[in-house]
């Protein structure tokens, strides 16, 4: 047994790099002409990650690391086969796969779980992010995180150079530490390969923090004192709701508010917001909804996205105890309708007390709205994580929503709603085993039975295969009003296996064959008359094939079937007359075959195509979705998202053709001036949305926004009736005190 455990947690000795302390000015302009660089040892010998993870990089990269009392300095020389360096856009926070670029990852607590990420491309465009959860999947990246730092790049014959200067007060670390963890990874667009400094096997994503080098500082680092930043804003706009018969003219609005960021220690940060304004946030991408349950839309508001993993990383997609989009939206339990209310302000305390303990506290206050019979609410969330073993942790969360004087309003709102939960998150040193085990309990005003939620997930991953098991048990009384719980009173179970192959050739990088099964039982705890207790409601399986080509294109195919029993009347098209529906208790089989192809991402003309066909609730479903576009690199991108479904369910159902079409136009005039415009036509929702936005970054982390939105009611292609319209201007300015 001890031998098995030792093998399980064993890993190769990591590479080591040394950061030299320097005296002398470093200007991060991409030229590297400062004398200090002449005395810094470069680190090279990058390994290939794609298309093969068993060879050295075709074209190497040299990395330089130095620091002084204020900044960490990073530089790199990135060699390639020629001079045709490309980037797809000049916009900040570009996609890693969008051109020649390099990214640096800094695990400042040496905890193998959380990190900062900084990157530049060959044209000097910057991006930054935070990483949580060990970087094991794409949801662990928070690209909204932003702070003040500088960097630039210069292109040369056969290589390009980049320099970065990152202030230590923009980072979080333990005072007196002399060891971080470090990695760098790069895309070479000309001779398409992805390489990294610390070798990563291709079965994990390239930023997985299980595989990093040790970064040693010549002298221990010290915390430079409190770092305080103010980010005030001013906004003004004009709008009109044409569906409100009482509004006969435009409304003019103005606003003032802002945020403050206070570094209490090198690891603990306090964020304040007063009268937050989210008018610059891009609207949600619409969907064609053929599901029976609520559709999940991601959070887009800046204040809630930062440190979102600490508060929103609990549970799973089937049962999440905290979903920040619920803040500012309340459910009237009489009408079952959501009502919005204004956020007055809030506070967030988050960070690390030491290398192993992380905590967060979020408190937000909303305003009462007498005209909507909506009381004021306070939202509070406390979360904590304690690291155990090497990369695992135990998490705790408490969520509370409290109404102020709800009895004074005609609407029916619970005076409070609370959820408490504990979780164990497993991650072995090299991600051989990962998992998650949770238990959450709802604490409601009216005591109910089965007010709990539990899930278990376990994954075993090797180069040639991976095995997964997931189950979720959600009681009928689990009422998490600030969470996302689309279904209750169920037990869901799903095993999955995936087998991976790595042919030695010039066309295919790898391919995968996967199979999974799904069972869903109705617990029957709510005395449902449709089905008896613990009745098998749904069963299904899927066989999939995925192939990645060496030119960055991808092909996928899958065959899926599902048997189910409806518990409620349901119209899958959502466009029939009210008396046309599939009745509760009816049984159905769905069998769908779908394919997808993503073209070579490096090409100026790009597209993806996703056709599907099959049986659907006793009828027929056929359709196609995807995206097609062209880039006039690096300044202009024109694309169209499309989704078409033809549904013919027979009987009294009228055949439905559902269209969702979204043209998009993006212009990056410079690295600091951007314009985007997109249209969304959705005949299922009978809505046409127009959104246009100008963003000018006139100073570091400071922006001017001009946003225009327009919505039309569209019963037919040729009938547009304006619903609402708005034009908003907003300016934010980052001030370091």
Tell me the average pLDDT of the chain. Answer: 90
- Residue 33's SS3 state is coil
Residue 6 in any domain: the answer is no
Q: How confident is the model at residue 2, as a pLDDT?
A: 32
The long-range contacts involving 380-389, CB below 8 angstroms and separated by at least 24 positions, are 381/311, 381/322, 381/482, 383/310, 383/311, 383/314, 383/359, 384/357, 384/358, 384/359, 384/360, 385/310, 385/357, 385/358, 385/359, 386/356, 386/357, 387/111, 387/113, 387/355, 387/356, 387/357, 387/358
Assign 140 a pLDDT band (cuts: 50, 70, 90): confident
From CA 733, how far away is CA 465, in angstroms rounded? 50
> Quick one: 469 and 336 in the same domain?
yes
> Quick one: 299 and 205 in the same domain?
no
Tokens of 290: 């053929």
Residue 68 in any domain: the answer is yes
Q: Cβ distance 713 to 720 under 8 Å?
A: yes
Q: What is the rounded average pLDDT of the residues 501-524?
A: 93
Q: How confident is the model at residue 11, as a pLDDT?
A: 43
- Structurally, the chain folds into a number of domains equal to 2
Backbone phi, then psi, for 2, in 5-degree steps?
Answer: -60, -35
Assign 336 a pLDDT band (cuts: 50, 70, 90): low
> Quick one: 189 and 70 in the same domain?
yes
The long-range contacts involving 539-546, CB below 8 angstroms and separated by at least 24 positions, are 539/563, 541/515, 541/516, 541/517, 542/514, 542/515, 542/516, 542/518, 543/513, 543/514, 543/515, 544/512, 544/513, 544/514, 544/515, 545/511, 545/512, 545/513, 545/514, 546/511, 546/512, 546/514
Strands in 308-415 per DSSP E: 329-332, 337-340, 343-352, 357-366, 376-388, 392-404
Q: How confident is the model at residue 319, as a pLDDT?
A: 94
User: 220: burial class by Cβ within 10 Å (0-12, 13-18, 19+)?
Assistant: exposed
**Cis amide bond preceding 634, omega within 30:** yes
Tokens of 332: 């009237």
Q: How confident is the model at residue 128, as a pLDDT?
A: 93
- 488, 514, 542 — which closes off a domain? 488
Assign 458 a pLDDT band (cuts: 50, 70, 90): very high
From CA 468, how far away is CA 570, in angstroms rounded? 32
Assign 525 a pLDDT band (cuts: 50, 70, 90): low
> Quick one: 310 and 204 in the same domain?
no
Strands in 554-635 per DSSP E: 554-565, 587-598, 605-616, 619-632
C-alpha dihedral over 427, 428, 432, 433, to 10 degrees? -50
Residue 393 in any domain: the answer is yes
Scan for tokens 């053709």, then name that residue. 657
Residue 45 in any domain: the answer is yes
Residue 117 in any domain: the answer is yes
pLDDT at 618 over 80: yes
> Quick one: 212 and 319 in the same domain?
no
> Quick one: 76 and 165 in the same domain?
yes
> Quick one: 155 and 297 in the same domain?
no
Residue 405 in any domain: the answer is yes
Assign 287 a pLDDT band (cuts: 50, 70, 90): confident
**CATH classification of the domain holding 201:** 2.60.40.1190
C-alpha closest to that of 431 among 395, 458, 405 = 458
Residues 693-725 have pLDDT tens digits of: 999 999 988 999 999 999 998 876 667 888 899
Residues 531-581 have pLDDT tens digits of: 677 889 999 999 999 999 999 999 999 999 999 999 999 999 999 998 899
- 461, 488, 515 — which closes off a domain? 488
Residue 1 in any domain: the answer is no
> Quick one: 198 and 304 in the same domain?
no
> Quick one: 113 and 27 in the same domain?
yes
Residue 534 in any domain: the answer is no
Q: How confident is the model at residue 335, as a pLDDT?
A: 53
Q: How confident is the model at residue 1, as a pLDDT?
A: 32
Q: How confident is the model at residue 4, as a pLDDT?
A: 31
Backbone phi, then psi, for 662, in 5-degree steps?
Answer: -140, 90
pLDDT at 730 over 60: yes
Q: What is the rounded average pLDDT of the residues 329-334?
A: 60
User: Where is pLDDT greater, at 336 or 279?
Assistant: 279
Domain region containing 169: 12-217
> Quick one: 36 and 159 in the same domain?
yes
Q: What is the rounded average pLDDT of the residues 60-71?
A: 95
Q: What is the rounded average pLDDT of the residues 49-76?
A: 95
- 217, 245, 278 — which closes off a domain? 217
β-pairing, 16-21 vs 213-217, is: parallel
Residues 405-454 have pLDDT tens digits of: 777 776 667 889 999 999 999 999 888 999 999 999 999 988 888 999 99
> Quick one: 312 and 171 in the same domain?
no
Q: What is the pTM of this model?
A: 0.89
pLDDT at 209 over 60: yes
> Quick one: 318 and 459 in the same domain?
yes
pLDDT at 238 over 90: yes
Assign 505 a pLDDT band (cuts: 50, 70, 90): confident
Q: Cβ distance 39 to 12 under 8 Å?
A: no
């Amino acid at each position: 047994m001890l031998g098995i455990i030792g093998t399980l947690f064993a890993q190769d000795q990591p590479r080591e790099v040394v950061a030299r302390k320097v005296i002398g000015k470093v200007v991060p302009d991409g030229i590297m002409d400062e004398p200090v660089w002449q005395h810094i040892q470069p680190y090279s010998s990058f390994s290939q990650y794609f298309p093969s993870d068993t060879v050295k990089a075709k074209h190497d990269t040299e990395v330089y690391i130095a620091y002084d009392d204020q900044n960490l300095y990073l530089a790199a020389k990135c060699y390639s086969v020629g001079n045709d360096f490309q980037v797809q856009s000049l916009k900040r926070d570009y996609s890693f796969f969008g051109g020649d670029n390099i990214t640096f990852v800094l695990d400042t607590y040496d905890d193998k779980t959380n990190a900062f990420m900084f990157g530049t491309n060959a044209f000097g465009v910057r991006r930054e992010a935070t990483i949580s959860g060990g970087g094991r999947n794409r949801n662990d990246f928070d690209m909204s995180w932003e702070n003040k730092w500088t960097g630039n790049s210069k292109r040369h014959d056969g290589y390009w150079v980049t320099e970065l200067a990152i202030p230590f007060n923009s980072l979080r670390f333990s005072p007196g530490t002399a060891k971080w963890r470090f990695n760098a990874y790069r895309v070479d667009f000309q001779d398409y390969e992805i390489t990294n400094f610390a070798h990563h096997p291709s079965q994990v994503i390239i930023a997985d923090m299980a595989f990093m080098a040790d970064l040693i500082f010549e002298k221990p680092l010290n915390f430079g004192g409190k770092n305080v930043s103010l980010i005030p804003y001013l906004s003004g706009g004009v709008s009109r709701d044409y569906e409100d018969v009482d509004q006969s003219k435009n409304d003019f609005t103005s606003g003032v508010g802002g945020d403050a960021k206070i570094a209490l220690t090198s690891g603990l940060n306090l964020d304040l917001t007063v009268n937050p304004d989210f008018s610059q946030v891009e609207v949600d991408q619409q969907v064609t909804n053929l599901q029976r349950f609520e559709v999940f839309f991601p959070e887009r508001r800046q204040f809630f996205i930062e440190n979102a993993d600490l508060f929103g990383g609990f549970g799973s997609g089937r049962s999440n105890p905290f979903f920040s989009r619920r803040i500012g939206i309340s459910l009237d339990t009489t009408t079952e309708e959501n009502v919005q209310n204004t956020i007055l302000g809030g506070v967030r305390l988050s960070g690390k007390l030491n290398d192993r303990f992380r905590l967060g506290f979020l408190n937000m206050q909303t305003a009462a709205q007498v005209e909507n019979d909506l009381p004021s609410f306070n939202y509070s969330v406390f979360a904590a994580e304690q690291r155990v073993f090497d990369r695992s942790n135990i998490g705790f969360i408490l969520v509370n929503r409290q109404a102020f004087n709800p009895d004074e309003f005609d609407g029916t709102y619970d005076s409070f709603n609370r959820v408490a939960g504990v979780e164990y998150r497993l991650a072995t040193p090299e991600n051989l085993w990962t998992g998650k085990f949770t238990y959450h309990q709802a604490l409601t005003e009216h005591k109910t039975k089965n007010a709990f939620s539990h899930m278990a997930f376990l994954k075993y991953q090797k180069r040639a295969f991976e095995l997964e098991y997931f189950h979720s048990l959600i009681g009928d009384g689990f009422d998490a009003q600030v969470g996302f719980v689309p279904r209750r009173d169920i037990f869901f179970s799903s095993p999955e296996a995936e087998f991976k192959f790595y042919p030695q050739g010039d066309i295919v990088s790898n391919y995968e064959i996967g199979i999974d099964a799904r069972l869903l039982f109705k617990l029957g705890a709510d005395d449902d008359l449709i089905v008896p207790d613990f009745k098998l409601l749904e069963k299904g399986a899927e066989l999939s094939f995925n192939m990645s080509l060496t030119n960055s294109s991808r092909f996928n195919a899958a065959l899926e079937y599902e048997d189910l029993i409806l518990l409620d009347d349901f119209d899958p098209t959502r466009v029939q007359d009210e008396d046309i529906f599939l009745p509760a208790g009816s049984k159905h089989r769905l069998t769908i075959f779908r394919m997808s192809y993503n073209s070579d991402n490096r090409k100026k003309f790009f597209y993806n195509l996703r056709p599907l066909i099959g049986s659907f609730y006793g009828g027929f479903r056929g359709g196609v979705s995807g995206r097609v576009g062209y880039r006039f690199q690096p300044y202009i991108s024109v694309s169209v998202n499309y989704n078409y479904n033809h549904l013919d369910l027979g009987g009294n159902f009228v055949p439905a053709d559902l269209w969702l079409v979204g043209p998009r136009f993006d212009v990056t005039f410079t690295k600091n001036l951007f314009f985007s415009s997109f249209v969304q036509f959705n005949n299922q929702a009978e809505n046409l949305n127009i959104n246009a936005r100008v963003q000018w970054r006139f100073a570091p982390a400071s922006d001017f926004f001009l946003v225009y939105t327009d919505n039309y009611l569209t019963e037919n292609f040729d009938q547009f009736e304006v619903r609402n319209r708005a034009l908003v201007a907003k300016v934010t300015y980052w001030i370091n005190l």
